[in-house]
């Protein structure tokens, strides 16, 4: 008996409906792909038409232009500059990319348009039962938005997104910064790394989700966005089409594969420790970072980590790529209840960044890898880091301890070394302006990244003192909506926003992080004090909270006369809960539930030795 499949296809950007042959091309590709699995399969293929809604929708020039600029900036960051050697401004980006960004920007900024598009899809699904929904590019955004709002619309069908912008950080604002799983039989996301039409990989933690890499490079086509190439790709055939129209032998193989996969148990704990002393520039070299790594490894093993759960990377092996590869090992495949620890000891820095128009408009905090050169390509920025942590399960534990600073500083001969780099003068110039009246160089006034957050008491912890700093571990690239809009979207989509790690930072934003020499052995004074405090408490049989640990380290640094105030950032319920590693009472780590939300607790150690500590320049976040 032959398999019957009913398919609904949703085209992408570019007003595909103008081309009368696009339906025929899709149908041909689908027929060929399914036929390679089951020659007797019987197909019914329908299409959604929606271009007229875009033609009729009014445009708000200001919000539309801002959204388009964000999308184009993400395109440049994602690889469009590879196609455009020397590209510096928006005028250099191909017209087709601008057109693409225009339609996606129109969709992202017009709430009524999104509602109308959702209804078009629902009307089509309501008229017939479909086994699969295949959505390309902008069509994937429309469908994902529809199925988030009507969770039963596709519950028994397979959803296939391809050439999709769902994972683009500039688009995720519509979904309040987090991509939720869908209630469907299976969701396949086909991703081509060579597709340059604002596409992104997608990290969704769900049993019914699978990303399939469908790499192709079409001759004489720099964009590599063609829908038929996705649909007929061998990887799509091996996954999507074998699932949709499986032959008997395929069913047996797939069942066995699923059973084997279920037997694989991933480790519950992992830690990645990074230490860099020997930077290429002799003036930038440090002494205690490698010692810090071995010290923290010993403390973690005393606290319940097994040696095989810990990886380290040191000095010239801690390149940008080396660190990112290991961050994937640390954070890929995290499940509820899993514990992950990142420790970094080395330099931090701040890089003034250009926008798509070629103008400096904000500052990026970064970790400084061995091959750092003051370019985004050789720095660990939050925009890459957030791709790994922002989708973690809410009831997993991820702690990042950073023994570095970002305000820079000079090492005085004979004095303690500082763990932060001051930018070279050409980089520093981006963040300065000339005041003709005062005849002085002053800091440039950057536009705040989020005005509503900037006005909050804890705004500096998100955005820095200048309101325009992309701070590490805050996922601000996914949090650009005003608070009211952001909270409305979160509640409507029933999630808590991007996952926020617990951040243990060596100092406040405008302070320096120092090294300490214990006899003849150098350490970061923060790491040394943290290890000492934790060990002392553990010998007493006490498992402290992160807040208590942060307070004790703060007190110790003051007694040692270091002008360095540690910073703790994270969900309040987590900061006040016991440190999960080696929990001596045997209690499970605190669950977040609805407590995570958009609000974070920032502990600046206001109390020390029972007295209120002196204020530290609006004590913001970390160094």
Render 475-511 in DSSP notation, one character per residue: -GGG--S-HHHHHHHHHHHTS--S---EEEESS-TTS
pLDDT at 71: 67
Look at residue 94 and tell me whether its pLDDT is greater than 90: no
Residue at which a domain ends, from 245, 263, 281: 263
Q: Is residue 481 part of a domain?
A: yes
For residue 455, count CB atoms less than 10 angstroms from its CB and return exposed for 0-12, middle for 13-18, buried for 19 or more. Answer: exposed
Look at residue 361 and tell me whether its pLDDT is greater than 50: yes
What is the spatial distance between Cα 525 and Cα 484, in angstroms, rounded to a whole number?
Answer: 41
- Tens of pLDDT, residue by residue over 525-560, are 999 999 999 999 988 888 899 999 999 999 999 999
DSSP string, 429-468: HTTEEEETTTTEEEE--PPPS-HHHHTSTTHHHHH-TTS-
Give residues with Cβ within 8 angstroms of 283, minimum separation 6: none
Q: Is residue 440 part of a domain?
A: no
Q: Could you tell me if 188 and 91 are in contact, meaning their C-beta atoms sit under 8 angstroms apart?
A: no
pLDDT at 193: 94
Name which of 62-76, 401-415, 503-517 the model is least confident about: 62-76
pLDDT at 99: 60
Q: Is residue 439 part of a domain?
A: no
pLDDT at 220: 86
pLDDT at 223: 87
pLDDT at 31: 95
- Residues of the domain holding 492: 269-347+372-416+476-612
Residue at which a domain ends, from 263, 283, 300: 263
What is the spatial distance between Cα 156 and Cα 208, in angstroms, rounded to a whole number?
Answer: 12
pLDDT at 418: 87
- Does residue 552 sit in the same domain as residue 577? yes
Choice between 262 and 212, residue whose per-residue pLDDT is larger = 212
- Tens of pLDDT, residue by residue over 279-335, are 999 999 999 999 999 999 999 999 889 999 999 999 999 999 999 999 999 999 899
- Does residue 278 sit in the same domain as residue 238? no
Choice between 315 and 68, residue whose per-residue pLDDT is larger = 315
- Does residue 125 sit in the same domain as residue 176? yes
Q: Name the pLDDT band for 596 (thresholds 50, 70, 90).
A: very low
Q: Is residue 95 part of a domain?
A: yes
- Does residue 228 sit in the same domain as residue 297? no
Helices (H), 513-577: 525-539, 546-559, 572-575
What is the spatial distance between Cα 623 and Cα 510, in angstroms, rounded to a whole number?
Answer: 7
Q: Stretch 176-189: mean pLDDT, rounded? A: 96
- Does residue 161 sit in the same domain as residue 25? yes
Q: Is residue 358 part of a domain?
A: no
Look at residue 75 and tell me whether its pLDDT is greater than 60: no
Q: Stretch 226-243: mean pLDDT, rounded? A: 95
For the chain, give the number of residues: 623
What is the spatial distance between Cα 225 and Cα 162, in angstroms, rounded to a whole number?
Answer: 9
What CATH code is carried by the domain that includes residue 208?
A: 3.40.50
Q: In the numeric block, which tokens belong to residue 564?
A: 């360095």
Q: Could you tell me if 348 and 366 are in contact, meaning their C-beta atoms sit under 8 angstroms apart?
A: yes
- Tens of pLDDT, residue by residue over 258-281, are 454 444 454 489 999 999 999 999
- Tens of pLDDT, residue by residue over 22-33, are 899 999 999 999
pLDDT at 619: 34
- Does residue 296 sit in the same domain as residue 172? no
Look at residue 227 and tell me whether its pLDDT is greater than 50: yes
What is the spatial distance between Cα 558 and Cα 556, in angstroms, rounded to a whole number?
Answer: 5
Q: Name the pLDDT band for 490 (thresholds 50, 70, 90).
A: very high
Look at residue 2 and tell me whether its pLDDT is greater than 80: no
Q: Which residue has the tokens 């500082």?
A: 418
- Does residue 193 sit in the same domain as residue 284? no
Choice between 434 and 57, residue whose per-residue pLDDT is larger = 434
Q: Stretch 455-477: mean pLDDT, rounded? A: 89
pLDDT at 264: 47
Look at residue 44 and tell me whether its pLDDT is greater than 60: yes
Percent of the chain whose predicted confidence (pLDDT) is above 90: 60
For residue 149, count CB atoms less than 10 angstroms from its CB and return exposed for 0-12, middle for 13-18, buried for 19 or more. Answer: middle
Strand partners, 363: 352, 469
- Does residue 294 sit in the same domain as residue 148? no
Name which of 142-151, 346-355, 599-608 the model is least confident about: 599-608
Q: Could you tell me if 8 and 43 are in contact, meaning their C-beta atoms sit under 8 angstroms apart?
A: no
pLDDT at 74: 57
- Does residue 285 sit in the same domain as residue 156? no
Look at residue 609 and tell me whether its pLDDT is greater than 50: no
pLDDT at 104: 86
Q: What is the mean pLDDT of the chain?
A: 84
pLDDT at 407: 74
Q: Is residue 573 part of a domain?
A: yes
Q: Is residue 227 part of a domain?
A: yes
Q: Name the pLDDT band for 197 (thresholds 50, 70, 90).
A: confident
Q: Could you tell me if 497 and 490 are in contact, meaning their C-beta atoms sit under 8 angstroms apart?
A: yes
- Does residue 513 sit in the same domain as residue 546? yes
SS3 256: helix
Q: Could you tell me if 569 and 473 are in contact, meaning their C-beta atoms sit under 8 angstroms apart?
A: yes
Name the strands in the sheet holding 567-570, side by side, starting at the edge strand that comes first in the sequence. 310-314, 269-275, 339-345, 397-403, 502-505, 567-570, 601-603
- Tens of pLDDT, residue by residue over 125-163, are 999 999 999 999 999 999 999 999 999 999 999 999 999
Q: What is the DSSP letter of 238?
A: I
Bridge pairing between strands 601-603 and 42-48: unpaired
Residue at which a domain ends, from 214, 245, 263: 263
> Phi/psi of residue 287, each to 5°?
-120, -30
- Does residue 150 sit in the same domain as residue 179? yes
Q: Name the pLDDT band for 39 (thresholds 50, 70, 90).
A: confident
Name which of 75-89, 353-367, 402-416, 550-564 the model is least confident about: 75-89
Q: Is residue 620 part of a domain?
A: no
Q: In the numeric block, which tokens belong to residue 581?
A: 């590693």
pLDDT at 196: 86
Q: In the numeric block, which tokens belong to residue 10?
A: 């949703």
Q: What is the DSSP letter of 478?
A: G
What CATH code is carried by the domain that includes residue 273?
A: 3.40.50.1460
- Does residue 246 sit in the same domain as residue 296? no
Q: Could you tell me if 105 and 71 are in contact, meaning their C-beta atoms sit under 8 angstroms apart?
A: yes
pTM equals: 0.82
User: Total domain count for the chain?
Assistant: 2
Q: In the numeric block, which tokens belong to residue 591?
A: 């669950």
């Amino acid at each position: 008996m032959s398999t019957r499949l009913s398919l609904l296809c949703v085209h992408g950007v570019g007003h595909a409906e103008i081309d009368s042959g696009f339906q025929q091309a899709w149908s041909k590709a689908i027929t060929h792909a399914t036929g390679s699995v089951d020659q007797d399969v019987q197909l019914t293929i329908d299409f959604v038409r929606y271009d007229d809604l875009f033609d009729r929708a009014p445009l708000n020039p200001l919000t539309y232009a801002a959204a388009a600029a964000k999308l184009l900036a993400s395109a440049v960051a994602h690889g469009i500059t590879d196609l455009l050697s020397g590209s510096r401004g928006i005028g250099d980006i191909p017209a087709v990319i601008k057109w693409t960004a225009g339609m996606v920007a129109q969709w992202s900024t017009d709430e009524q348009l999104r509602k109308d598009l959702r209804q078009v899809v629902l009307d089509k699904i309501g008229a017939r039962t479909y086994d699969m929904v295949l959505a390309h590019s902008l069509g994937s955004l429309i469908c994902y938005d529809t199925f988030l709002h009507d969770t039963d619309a596709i519950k028994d069908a397979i959803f296939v997104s391809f050439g999709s912008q769902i994972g683009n950080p500039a688009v995720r604002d519509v979904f309040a910064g987090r991509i939720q799983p869908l209630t469907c039989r299976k969701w396949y996301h086909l991703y081509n790394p060579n597709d340059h039409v604002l596409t992104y990989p997608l990290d969704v933690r769900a049993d019914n989700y699978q990303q399939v890499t469908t790499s192709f490079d079409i001759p004489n086509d720099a964009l590599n966005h063609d829908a038929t190439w996705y649909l007929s790709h061998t990887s799509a055939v091996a996954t999507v089409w074998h699932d949709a129209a499986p032959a008997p032998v395929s069913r047996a193989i797939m069942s066995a594969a699923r059973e084997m996969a279920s037997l694989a148990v991933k480790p519950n704990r992992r830690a990645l420790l990074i230490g860099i002393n020997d930077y290429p520039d002799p003036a930038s070299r440090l002494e205690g970072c490698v010692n810090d790594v071995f010290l923290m490894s010993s403390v973690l093993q005393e606290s319940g980590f097994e040696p095989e759960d810990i990886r380290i990377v040191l000095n010239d092996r801690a390149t940008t790529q080396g660190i990112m590869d290991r961050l994937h090992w640390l954070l890929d495949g995290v499940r509820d209840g899993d514990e992950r620890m990142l420790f970094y000891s080395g330099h931090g820095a701040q890089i003034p960044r250009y926008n798509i128009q070629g103008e400096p408009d904000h500052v990026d905090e970064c970790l400084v890898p061995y091959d750092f050169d003051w370019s985004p390509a050789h720095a660990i920025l939050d925009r890459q880091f957030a791709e790994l942590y922002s989708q973690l399960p809410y009831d997993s534990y991820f702690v990042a301890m950073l023994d570095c600073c970002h305000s820079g500083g000079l090492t005085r001969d004979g004095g303690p070394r500082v763990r932060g780099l001051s930018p070279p003068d050409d980089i520093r110039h981006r963040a300065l302006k000339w005041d003709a009246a005062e005849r002085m160089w002053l800091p440039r006034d950057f536009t705040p990244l989020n005005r509503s957050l900037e006005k909050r008491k804890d705004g500096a912890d998100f955005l820095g003192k200048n309101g325009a700093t992309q701070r590490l571990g805050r996922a601000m690239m996914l949090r650009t909506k005003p608070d009211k809009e952001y909270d409305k979207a979160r509640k409507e989509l029933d999630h808590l926003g991007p996952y926020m790690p617990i951040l243990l930072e060596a100092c406040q934003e405008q302070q320096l992080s120092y090294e300490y020499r214990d006899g003849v052995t150098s350490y970061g004074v923060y790491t040394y004090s943290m290890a000492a405090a934790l060990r002392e408490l553990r010998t007493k049989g006490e498992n402290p909270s992160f807040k208590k640990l942060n307070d004790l380290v703060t007190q110790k640094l003051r007694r040692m006369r270091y002008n360095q105030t540690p910073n703790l950032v994270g969900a309040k319920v987590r900061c006040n809960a016991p440190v999960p590693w080696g929990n001596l009472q045997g209690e499970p780590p605190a669950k977040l539930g609805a407590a995570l939300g958009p609000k974070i607790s920032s502990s600046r150690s206001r109390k020390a030795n029972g007295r209120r500590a002196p204020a530290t320049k609006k004590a913001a976040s970390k160094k």
